[in-house]
Structure 1
């Protein structure tokens, strides 16, 4: 399924789907979406690219092993959950900044937790896909 049309379309779809996955991530603490769905969208972007161009070209885009994203995401999510303990709150209590960030909106620990989940989902999904495709 490596047609010229699919290869050309995948070159445009990769950045668009990654941008859409970030939109879903940022939308998540207000409306449906968040880190899990956004991470799956980002992983799908790389899977489409690998179907069209081959797994080696996709690995060259990623530049590092996607398994590295798993501990980074877990650490970020853990820190976002533990930060309220420093302020005398319970674990996973949402803390919010007083001022809203212009494009993002209200920033709080929920956004950092979702970002950690986003990184873990991308890391797990791409590690599984890359491992399976190497065995073929």
Structure 2
């Protein structure tokens, strides 16, 4: 990969961040999934995801980090807000108050995976934290 940098390259940092980027995002997904039944969830998952983005930005620059995001940071945050709002609609459709928890189990052959509208809300929180803080980190990187 040919990455233009203004200063000297830190090869060990680049290698470490290159190896840790995807595991950090996977850890974020694990924390997000278990968060609706245990401590954790969207906020901590978003912090893990932005840690991956910030590390990548420090090692390879803001442009490279922005390119690794699934959407522009602002759009990622907006999508998170939309998911958070969407999580409340199933309850309203059933005549219950907005954001009332609904859940059950999804049978996938011999597996039964729990699901919940809280999961959608936590996904929204994760995306909102990731997008908002990634925008901040990348903007701070441009100022320095």
CA 1:97–1:70: 2 relative to 1, 3 Å = same
Per-residue CA deviations over 1:56-98 (Å, capped at 9, x if unaligned) read 2212222642100122111111110132011011121111134
* Higher share in strand: 2
1:32 aligns with 2:32: no
Contact 1:26 1:104 in 2 (8 A): no
Taking only aligned residues, the RMSD between alpha carbons, in angstroms, comes to 2.0
Contact 1:67 1:123 in 2 (8 A): yes
Residue in structure 1 matched with residue 17 of structure 2 by the alignment: 10
Aligned with 2:53 (options 30, 46, 49):
46
* Higher share in helix: 1
For structure 2, the residue ranges without an aligned partner over 5 or more in a row are: 1-7
> What count of residue pairs does the alignment treat as equivalent?
136
Residue in structure 2 matched with residue 120 of structure 1 by the alignment: 128
With structure 1 as the length reference, what TM-score do the two structures score?
0.91
Residue in structure 2 matched with residue 66 of structure 1 by the alignment: 73
Whichever of the two has the greater Rg, that structure is 2
For structure 1, the residue ranges without an aligned partner over 5 or more in a row are: none
With structure 2 as the length reference, what TM-score do the two structures score?
0.86
